[in-house]
């Protein structure tokens, strides 16, 4: 059972453009939604995260939009740069107080390529 | 400061052999997680420790997989009678705690690439 669905599988964006990656989740008990960036041969690294009582969070060029009623959230990368070329994973977890222990359920990933 | 380290970085073994994968978490982090990442997929949860005890091992695929964290720091993932389907990248992550009202950042190591021939 895939609890977090991610799209698109791959994405090509021109330098300076906006990259948009979408995720949908099923478990309404999830209370933490992070995005991870992974370069080849490296482990995932946290990019930005949001909790469900907030509809948007912005950090630099990265923005998460969150729609609780639709159970969807998305990552927007503004002014995309070649150095942003990587695989991006959305994830979701439940905190300790709801028995989740913060174990992450990941989406299937999006390979982003930013072209010059 | 040092991040999460994992050894070995690569492991090639033959079907039926036993392997151990080691994780050194960030100093002071009480929560430690193991994930498995198959090619082209997102990481999948295996097990997590809060301190020395396995708080949730629901992701372990079968009884060939076992993990320990005897002193609440270093953890070892053990795989018995390896199968070709076990080939994947095994990732370890640590966080200050698994508790709290919502998520704590998990810091991932570079992973161990296991290939079972």
Chain B nearest C-alpha distance from A33 (Å):
8
- Residue B1 predicted with pLDDT over 60: no
Q: Residue A1: its pLDDT value, please?
A: 56
Cα(B73)–Cα(A95) distance, integer angstroms: 22
Identify the CA nearest to A86 among candidates A66, A65, A62, A103: A62
Is residue B104's pLDDT more than 90?
no
- Per-residue pLDDT at A52: 87
Q: Are the CB atoms for A21 and A108 separated by under 8 Å?
A: no
Which single residue is written with the structure tokens 């478990």? A27
Give the pair of three-digit tokens for residue A48. 């930005």
CB contact under 8 A, B33 and A108: no
Phi, psi (deg, nearest 5) at residue A48:
-165, 155
Interface test with A, best of B42, B51, B108 (most A CBs within 10 A): B42
pLDDT at A2 over 80: no
Q: Is the pLDDT of residue A95 over 80?
A: no
Question: Does position A74 have pLDDT exceeding 60, yes or no?
Answer: yes
Closest-CA residue to A103 (of B96, B89, B31, B113): B31
Task: Provide the pLDDT for residue B102.
Answer: 60
Give the residue from A26, A20, A115 showing the smallest Cα distance to A71.
A26
Choose the mutation target among B103, B104, B106, B110 for the interface with A, i.e. most A CBs under 10 Å. B103
pLDDT at A102: 82
DSSP code of residue B77:
E
DSSP assignment of A33-51 equals EEEEEE-TTS--EEEEEE-
Q: What is the pLDDT of residues A97-109, one digit of tens each?
A: 666 678 899 999 9
Do the Cβ atoms of B22 and B11 come closer than 8 Å?
no
CB contact under 8 A, B101 and A95: yes
Q: What is the pLDDT of residues B36-95, one digit of tens each?
A: 999 999 999 999 998 898 989 999 999 999 999 999 999 999 999 999 999 999 999 999
Among the partner residues A42, A95, A107, nearest to B103 by beta-carbon distance: A95
* Cβ-based contacts of A97 with chain B (< 8 Å): 99-101
Q: What share of chain A in percent tops pLDDT 70?
A: 94
For residues B23-47, average pLDDT: 95
Looking at residue A100, what is its pLDDT? Answer: 65
- Verify whether the Cβ–Cβ distance A44 to B91 is below 8 Å: yes
Whole-number Cα distances in Å, B115 to A8, B22, B39, B76:
29, 16, 12, 18
In B, minimum Cα distance to A32 occurs at B103
Task: Compute the distance between CA of residue A57 and CA of residue A64 in angstroms, rounded to an integer.
Answer: 5
* Residue A24 reports pLDDT greater than 60: yes
Question: Residue A82, exposed/middle/buried by CB under 10 A (0-12, 13-18, 19+)?
Answer: exposed
Please, which pLDDT band fits residue B19 given cuts at 50, 70 and 90? very high
CA distance A89 to A34: 8
Q: Look at residue B100 in the predicted model and tell me its pLDDT.
A: 59
B40: helix, coil or strand? coil
Q: Given an 8 Å threshold on Cβ–Cβ distance, is B31 in contact with A102?
A: yes
**Among the listed residues A42, A55, A116, A31, the one whose alpha carbon sits nearest the alpha carbon of residue B100:** A31
Confidence of residue B12 (pLDDT cuts 50, 70, 90): very high
């Amino acid at each position: 059972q895939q609890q977090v669905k991610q799209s698109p599988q791959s994405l090509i964006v021109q330098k300076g453009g906006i990259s948009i990656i979408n995720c949908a989740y099923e478990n309404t008990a999830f209370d933490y939604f992070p995005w991870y960036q992974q370069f080849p041969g490296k482990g995932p690294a946290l990019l930005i995260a949001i909790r469900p009582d907030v509809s948007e969070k912005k950090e630099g060029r990265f923005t998460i939009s969150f729609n609780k009623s639709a159970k969807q959230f998305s990552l927007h990368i503004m002014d995309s740069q070649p150095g942003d070329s990587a695989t991006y994973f959305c994830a979701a977890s439940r905190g300790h107080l709801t028995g989740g222990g913060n174990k992450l359920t990941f989406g299937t990933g999006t390979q982003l390529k930013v072209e010059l | 400061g040092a991040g999460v380290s994992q050894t070995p970085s690569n492991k090639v073994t033959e079907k039926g052999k036993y392997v151990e994968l080691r994780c050194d978490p960030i100093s002071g982090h009480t929560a430690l997680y193991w994930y498995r990442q198959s090619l082209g997929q997102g990481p999948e949860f295996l097990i997590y420790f809060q301190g020395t005890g396995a708080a949730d091992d629901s992701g372990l695929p079968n009884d060939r997989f076992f993990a320990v964290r005897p002193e609440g720091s270093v953890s070892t993932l053990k795989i018995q009678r390896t199968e070709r389907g076990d080939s994947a990248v095994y990732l370890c992550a640590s966080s200050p705690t698994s508790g709290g009202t919502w998520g704590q950042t998990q810091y991932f190591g570079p992973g161990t690439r296991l290939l079972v021939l």
